[in-house]
A and B are shown apart, each in its own frame.
Chain A
Amino acid sequence: MQAFLHQMLSGFATGGIYASIALALVMIYQTTHHVNFAQGEMATFSTYLAWQMIELGLPYWLAFLLTLLFAFILGAAIERIIVRPFYKAPVLSVVAVFIGLLLIINSLSGALFTYTIKPFASPFPSDAWYGSAYLSAHEVGMIFVTLVVLALVFAFFRYTPLGLAMRAVAENPVSSRLVGVRVGWMLALGWGLAGLIGAVAGTMTAPVVYLDPNMMFGVLLYGFAGALLGGIDNAWGAVLGGFIVGILQNLAGAYVVGTELMVTVALGIIVGILVIKPSGLFGRTIVTRV
């Protein structure tokens, strides 16, 4: 029973990471209907920067905040420079561009920081009082940080005029423009936020999976699985989906298939959801007028 509880709780901890990535994906999907395949690589690259700053002697949390700032700018810049011209392009072009981005950022991480696996320090000391047999200190910290970020994002969208404007753009860009919202900048802002949330997920997950240019592939897949499970056009569904997928993954890893097939489980979940209920648990079923 204790082992089971432990698996559940640490699944909740990884679920927080997946929920963050799923949220980042959904934020971009809602506004432009683009699936950002480069989300994981953006997060990895930001994490490398955090690593570099910590290596240079910056205190952890300062490096963390600077990384978030950088990730925000990176995300917004990618939207403005690379993605903008493809706003209304056919799906094939858009996906190809995202794969191109994935390759470029991945190789940039590899070229700048080499392909050797690096350990990444956790800001939460392993003997801290909040660690226990059920959850390691880092996992507790991870849950805490992801929950804080999710709460901040929620507050931003719910209580600030800017958040309202962004929601309006997601809902109806044409009308938003008519009432004076700068649609282009809102899209860039959405990308910036997605980059920022991804960077949080990257820095929190790096101590667990170790830092290497491909570290986010698996996480990204689970993020996709979470987003699809909750419904890819529903932010809160996606967050919940991320947590569910995290717990499912841990339980499956512990009791069913073992840790070797982690990514394959994600594949199974993704294909399963797409076949059985493509709109996810909370998503809208899209009806197209012929």
Chain B
Amino acid sequence: MATLDSSRPAAGALFAGLSLRRWKLIGLAATLATACALPFLVSGYQLLLANQVVVYAIALLGLNILTGYNGQFSLGHGAFYAIGAYTTAILLDKTGIPYWATIPLAGGLCLVAGFLFGLPALRLEGHYLALATFALAIATPQLLKYKRFDFLTGGVQGIVITAPDAPFGLPLRGDQWLYFFCLAWTVLLFVIGWNLLRGRTGRALVAIRDHPIAAATMGIDNALYKSVTFGVSAMYTGIAGALGALLAQFVSPDSFDFFLSVRFLVGIVVGGLASMAGAFFGAIFIEFVPNIADQISKAAPQAIYGAVLIAFIFFMPTGVVGMLRILGARLGRFVAPGPGR
């Protein structure tokens, strides 16, 4: 994974007179503008799908911080998504806390839960961590169904929640408001993530991934960084889960099964490991591909996930973002031949 960045074009490469950095900024601005205009352009159902993409992007960024940047495995992030979703649902169901306040609470709870799960996980590497989180993913629906927790979780029936309306008399439909609410959270969390990953902390995470012993020699507290990363990653996924619960207006144990965790894994591999933009590409993939494939047969989405997972690892281990980078590099050389040619 250490060679992920080797395909980046040289800093001076220009396309049509603008630097790559400039192009990236333009792309980001265009994406944001489109995202803001979307609720007024598409139908209610399409907006729901778009909103789900936005929510999944947060979860995928969370998993990517852990797996892509820090090199720790999780096949069980569906569990944290479930904790986030259930926290919001239970708070809305049992207490009078306003919906917007439940999101940070869900995030906080997942931060603690992830940190605690990360502590023993520190001793585990590679396969072992994959195994422990695999078990967590499979056990999650069963724990949520457990009879003694029925009074909170509603058991197999789950919990129905009502979606919020637009506040301050804004002229927005409920789903439009919710979309902007989720989008605001996404932007906030991506800005936080960007600040976290580009500086000293980000370099420490990558160093631990690439060579833990060398990282420790450089004065990085591996244990602290790894468990905190687990917590932060769980927090992102938990917030996504909380927003997802508002979006679905319903939580039930069977929507948080093993395959949810697998979706996240597929998402980060397809989008691109150790890449923030990859979270979006991955989210688009895991939201739309099963929707299309479902029309063929019930088994098709899973089969496609499996085949795509293997194909990406085999042919394109850097994901969509890696593919774009290589394309960009080729294009850069083509449009503006560097001094070397």
A interface residues (Cβ-Cβ under 8 A, vs B): 33-35, 37, 82, 85-86, 89-93, 95-97, 99-104, 106-108, 110-111, 115, 217-218, 221, 224, 228, 260-264, 266-267, 270-271, 274-275, 278, 290
Contact = CB atoms under 8 A, between A and B. Distances in A.
A90 to B, nearest CB: 7
Nearest to B258: A217
Contacts of A221: 134-135, 138-139
B303 A217 contact: no
Contacts of B135: 221, 224, 263, 266-267, 270-271
A97 B313 CA distance: 7
A96 B313 contact: yes
A96 B302 contact: no
Given A264-B143, A270-B132, A95 B127 contact: yes
25 contacts: A82-B310, A85-B314, A90-B1, A91-B73, A91-B126, A92-B1, A95-B127, A95-B130, A97-B309, A99-B75, A99-B309, A100-B307, A100-B309, A101-B306, A101-B310, A103-B306, A103-B309, A111-B300, A221-B134, A224-B134, A260-B145, A260-B147, A264-B142, A271-B120, A275-B123
Contacts of A91: 73, 126-127, 130
Given A260-B142, A266-B139, A274-B120, A93 B317 contact: yes
Main secondary structure of the interface of A (DSSP, over half): helix
Given A218-B138, A275-B123, A97 B130 contact: no
Contact of B262 (A97, A99, A275): A99
B299 interface: yes
Contacts of A218: 138
Given A35-B131, A100-B313, A274-B128, A95 B75 contact: yes
Q: How large is the interface on B (under 10, 10 to 19, 20 to 34, 35 or more residues)?
A: 35 or more
B127 A267 contact: no
Contacts of A96: 265, 269, 309-310, 313
B43 to A, nearest CB: 31
B252 interface: no
A103 B131 contact: no
A106 B262 CA distance: 13
B181 interface: no
A110 B302 CA distance: 10
Contacts, number: 132
Contacts of A110: 298-299, 302
B23 interface: no
Given A95-B75, A274-B120, A275-B123, A263 B139 contact: yes
Contacts of B317: 93
A244 B332 CA distance: 62
B138 A263 contact: yes
Interface in B294-331: 297-303, 305-310, 313-314, 317
Nearest to B119: A275
Q: Which of A82, A91, A104, A267 has the most CB of B within 10 A?
A: A267
A107 B300 contact: yes
Given A271-B135, A278-B128, A103 B143 contact: no
B196 interface: no
Given A103-B309, A217-B258, A260 B146 contact: yes
A262 B147 CA distance: 13
B157 to A, nearest CB: 16
B67 interface: yes
B305 to A, nearest CB: 5
A-B pairs, top 10 by smallest CB distance, nearest first, are: A103-B306, A100-B309, A104-B306, A111-B299, A91-B126, A107-B302, A107-B299, A107-B303, A100-B310, A267-B139
A37 B139 CA distance: 15
Nearest to A105: B306
Nearest to B128: A274
A96 B67 CA distance: 12
Contacts of B302: 103-104, 106-107, 110
Contact of A92 (B67, B306, B310): B67
Contacts of A274: 120, 123-124, 128, 131-132
B136 interface: yes
B311 to A, nearest CB: 8
